[in-house]
Amino acid sequence: MINKLKQKLLSDFNDIQVNIPEDNRMIVNTKKESLLSLLSYLKNMGFNHFAMLSCVDWIDENEFELIYILSAYPENDEQYQDIEKKNIILKTRISREKAKFITIIDIFENAEPYEREIHEMFGIHFEGHPRLTPLMLERDYKIPPFRKDFDTNKYVENTFGKVPSIKERKEGKK
């Protein structure tokens, strides 16, 4: 069943690579220009559940890798016993200096908080997103915190370590 899907994908798109590590999981590497068409193609084939959006920071290769995970719900209860859950993992790469991509809200509406979190933590700008405001953090960081060149020890020393204890403040005033 998965192999038939793999043949179909390889025949319809011409610059992707597909490999199947386990029985119900398929990893598709693609270029960023054909990602949206691939997503809508897969959605029409029945993979209409957008599970997650994640990101990896390849700092040595100067690229971000965005990872989209789709899965399929069985159509009715009889199918639930027969098929196992299938996951399709899509991976693309975008450049690190100009971290911009396009939003997939037109295809899957529930991608909005995931893209907001990735914008806040990695600094990737998604064009077309209606609300790219911070989701969890309250302070301003010069470098977004999840990037690999964000030095956590130095940040803690400069903000939380610089707060004096009450005894030091009292002696300082005197």
Partner 1 sequence: MDRNKISKWLKNPGKMANKYSFHVVYFCTGCGIIEIPPSITTRWDAERFGIIPVATPRQANLFLITGYVSTKTLAAIIRTYEQMPEPKYTVAFGSCPINGGMYYDSYNTITSLDKYIPVDGYIAGCMPRPEAIFIGVTHLWKLIDMDKADGYKRYREDYVHYRANQEQILGELDWPPLFSKENL
Stretch that binds partner 1, among 2-10, 24-32, 91-99, 159-167 (CB under 8 A): 159-167
The sign of the dihedral angle between the CA atoms of 11, 13, 18, 24 is: negative
CA–CA separation, 153 and 139 (whole Å):
17
Binding mask 49-78 for partner 1 (x = CB under 8 A): ------------------------------
In 3D space, the residue among 90, 89, 91 whose CA is nearest the CA of residue 65 turns out to be 91
Q: Which is nearer to partner 1, 4 or 162 (CB)?
A: 162
Decide if residue 1 touches partner 1 (CB under 8 A).
Answer: no
Q: Among 11, 98, 163, 174, which residue interacts with partner 1 (rule: CB under 8 A)?
A: 163
Q: Which is nearer to partner 1, 14 or 152 (CB)?
A: 152
CA–CA separation, 33 and 31 (whole Å):
6
CA distances to 42, 74, 75, 147, 173 from 46, rounded to whole Å, are 7, 9, 9, 35, 69
CA–CA separation, 99 and 71 (whole Å):
27
Stretch that binds partner 1, among 5-13, 45-53, 126-134, 162-170 (CB under 8 A): 162-170
Given a contact cutoff of 8 angstroms between Cβ atoms, the answer to whether 102 and 127 are in contact is: yes
Q: Which is nearer to partner 1, 10 or 156 (CB)?
A: 156
Q: Write out the two tokens for 31.
A: 């270029």
Binding mask 112-151 for partner 1 (x = CB under 8 A): -------------------------xxx-x---x----x-
Contact residues toward partner 1 (CB under 8 A) are 137-139, 141, 145, 150, 152-153, 155-156, 159-166, 169-170, 173
